[in-house]
Amino acid sequence: MTPVLRRVGFALGLPAVLLTVWWVLSADSTDFYFPPLPRILETLVREWFGPRLTDDVLPSLLRLAAGFSVAAVSAVTLGILIGTHRGLRDFLEPVLELTRAIPPPVLVPIFILVFGIDDTMKVIVIAFGCVWPILLNTAEGVRALDGVLGDTARTYGITGAARLRHLVLPGASPQIFAGLRQALSLAIILMVISELFAATNGLGFAIVQAQRSFAIPEMWAGMLVLGLIGFLLSLVFSAIENRCLAWYHGLRRAQRQS
Amino acid sequence: MLEVTGLKKVYEGKQRTVEAVRDLTFTLDKGELACLVGPSGCGKTTLLKIVSGLLEPTSGQVLLQGKHVQGPPPGMSVVFQEYGRSLFPWMSVRDNVELPLKQKKVPAARRRQLVDDSLSAVGLGDASAAYPWQLSGGMQQRVAIARAVAYEPQVLLMDEPFAAVDAQTRADLEDLIRDLWHQLHVTTLFVTHDIDEAVYLGQRVLILSESPTVIRRDILIDLPDRRDQLHTRSSPRFAELRAQVYAQIHRPREEHLAGRPTP
């Protein structure tokens, strides 16, 4: 069995097993709330690969992308500043710790009051929640940069923007990516949550609407789509991360072997 | 080329004040290869950090070609002891060596030439695409040396660069330093705790006392200019010089604290 085939087999193995079990167990189900899997899958293909893809899934994904990007840019910037200047960190820490402890879903009603019920509010909810893991990981990554590397950079006159580009960002990138990964999972959750209360389109909106109108197979289908999207986003993220952190993985491998 | 006058460094702590360096004064002429040797904890690294501008002295000054050193000056390269941590792991060997030159705004063609020349001078001509963590310790230190040399510095500072490599690699690297120095005539200050290494490499050996550190003695090494590991190290003159340095370093502590004048 070739390595690729084996990897694909591992990745799809458990889901395939679980789906099969689900299929078998639910095939004769007459329970209203747990319809047979074949019916759910049929609904999924019929509903979600049609106009819903552009009407609901796309807007949701765009809001997700916007919220995530805003969070990433602002959190990495602030994280670098905090990680570099000890005084700034001490100054901001109490406020940051307080704000961070508030769960974003709790803030949604307040955000609705302040920002309304359009796309801006949803993007802000996503961004607000995603900022924290990225910020804290970035600050830690920058703070923990090797002193010898820092001295080397100073010796050769690598300061300012060059230092940021060649030392700080690459050096903190493993930590930054760890924060981004956490933020991605959070972003998907917040994307759905932001559409639960006041929305006119979106994946979360569609799922909740199906639930409220007792269109149960549609609801299940929507949840499967959500899971699928989460999985695909995670794959894309891993691909990007492996590309950017190839040096880091190599370094760790070398360290482990020695 | 390099004038160090009255350097003093006092570390102020909460509980105690530590006078790491009391009074260091010496001069390096252009093209000289001088070694600084002293017992452990005598402030060798502190001294090197002050000379390279990474640390500020409590008093005293360092002049590089007559100009005051305040912060790392252009024209100085440093090779650190921890080679693994001084190379950027996200860049290839070539990029590592090239980065300071890019910062110095050297034109691309000349940069390529300097990088190629310095990498082949240290024997790593075909390793330029590798990453530092793919190389052995000795090779990594060679990359650091190539980077320092490609920079075309006025003064090259080396802070116990071979302390963390094995003895045979150390011997090869010592010869490499002498060869590079012969080729490039760069003023070099080599800090080490290894007495044999200091005598083998230097034209002069500056002997540091224990903390609070002063220069005990400045010995001229009159060994032949062409040296090699086998013959030089087994010559009688080498043994004499080595004994002199050793005696100076291990002089009784009371003599030093009593401030007796050095003979």
CATH number at residue A69: 1.10.3720.10
Residues of A in contact with B104 (CB under 8 A): 157
The DSSP result for chain B, as a single string, is -EEEEEEEEEEE-SS-EEEEEEEEEEEE-TT-EEEEE--TTSSHHHHHHHHTTSS--SEEEEEETTEE--SPPTTEEEE-S-HHHHS-TTS-HHHHHHHHHHHTT--HHHHHHHHHHHHHHTT-TT-TTS-GGGS-HHHHHHHHHHHHHHT--SEEEEESTTTTS-HHHHHHHHHHHHHHHHHH--EEEEEES-HHHHHHH-SEEEEE-SSSEEEEEEEE--S-SS--HHHHHTSHHHHHHHHHHHHHHTS-HHHHHTTPPP-
Residue A40 belongs to some domain of the structure: no
Confidence (pLDDT) at B253: 58
Query: Which tokens is A105 given?
Result: 């879903």
pLDDT reading at A15 higher than 80: yes
Which one of A146, A158, A173 has the shortest CB-CB distance to B99?
A158
Q: What is the mean pLDDT of residues A180-208?
A: 88
How confident is the prediction along chain B (263 residues), in pLDDT tens digits per residue?
A: 888 888 888 888 778 888 888 888 889 999 999 999 988 777 888 888 999 999 888 888 899 888 888 889 988 999 998 888 899 999 999 999 999 999 989 899 999 999 999 999 998 988 889 999 999 888 999 999 999 999 999 999 999 999 888 888 889 899 999 999 988 889 999 999 899 999 999 899 999 887 778 888 888 888 888 888 888 888 899 999 999 888 888 776 555 555 555 55
Per the listing, tokens 């000890």 go with A86
Give the model confidence (pLDDT) of A71-109 as tens digits: 999 999 999 999 888 888 888 888 888 888 888 788 888
What is the pLDDT at residue A238?
93
Q: What is the pLDDT of residue A254?
A: 87
Q: Is residue A158 in a domain? A: yes
Residue A214 maps to a domain: yes
pLDDT higher for B178 or A38? B178
Q: Quick one: pLDDT at residue B261?
A: 53
Confirm whether A232 is domain-assigned.
yes
- Token pair belonging to A220: 């299940």
A176: domain range? 58-257
Tokens (6 digits) for A219:
């609801």
> CB burial class (10 A; 0-12, 13-18, 19+) of residue A256?
exposed
pLDDT for residue B252: 61
* Mean pLDDT value of segment A110-134: 88
Q: Sort B184 into a burial class: Cβ within 10 Å, 0-12 / 13-18 / 19+.
A: middle
CA distances B153 to A50, A65, B71, B73, Å, are 67, 48, 16, 10
**CB–CB of A146 and B85 under 8 A?**
yes
Q: What is the DSSP letter of A167?
A: I
DSSP class of residue A55?
Answer: I
Alpha-helical segments (H) within chain A: 3-26, 37-43, 51-52, 58-84, 86-100, 104-115, 119-143, 147-155, 160-163, 169-197, 203-212, 216-244, 246-257
Per CB-CB distance under 8 Å, the chain B contacts of A157 are 72, 74, 100, 103-104
User: Cβ contacts of residue B87 below 8 Å, gap of 6+?
Assistant: B96, B132, B140, B143, B144, B147
The two tokens of residue A126 are 């996503």
Residues of B in contact with A162 (CB under 8 A): 103
Dihedral class, residue A200 (left if φ above 0, else alpha if ψ from -120 to 50, else beta):
alpha
Instruction: Answer whether residue A79 is part of any domain.
Output: yes
- pLDDT for res A73: 96
A16-20, A137-141, B18-22: which has the highest mean pLDDT?
A: A137-141
B86 neighbourhood in chain A, CB within 8 Å = 148-149, 151-152
Q: Report how far residue A158's alpha carbon sits from residue B98's, in angstroms, rounded to the nearest whole number.
A: 12
Q: Which chain A residues have a beta carbon less than 8 Å from that of B49?
A: 151
| DSSP conformational letter for A215 | -
Q: Say what the pLDDT of residue A12 is.
A: 80
Query: Quick one: pLDDT at residue B260?
Result: 52
pLDDT of residue A71: 95
Task: Note whether residue A9 is domain-resident.
Answer: no
Residue A139 has a CB neighbour count (10 Å cut-off) of 27
User: Is residue A178 a part of any domain in this protein?
Assistant: yes
Residue of B nearest to A256 (CA): B133
Instruction: Decide if A136 is inside a domain.
Output: yes
Query: Six-digit token pair at B208?
Result: 């540091």
pLDDT at B258: 58
What total number of domains does chain A contain? 1
Could B89 and A162 be called an inter-chain contact, meaning their C-beta atoms sit closer than 8 Å? no
Phi, psi of A107 (to 5 degrees): -85, -10
- Res A16 pLDDT > 60: yes
- Return the ∠ at Cα A85 (arms to A81 and A90), rounded to 5°: 105
Confidence at A1, pLDDT banded by 50, 70, 90: low
Taking phi over 0 as left and psi of -120 to 50 as alpha, with beta for the rest, A195 belongs to: alpha
B72 with A250: Cβ contact below 8 A: no
* Interface test mutation site (partner A, options B76, B90, B106, max chain A beta carbons within 10 A): B90
Amino acid at B11: Y
Yes or no: say if B68 and B62 are a contact pair by the CB < 8 Å rule: yes
Range A168-175 average pLDDT: 94
**Pairwise CB contact (< 8 Å): A158 & B88:** no
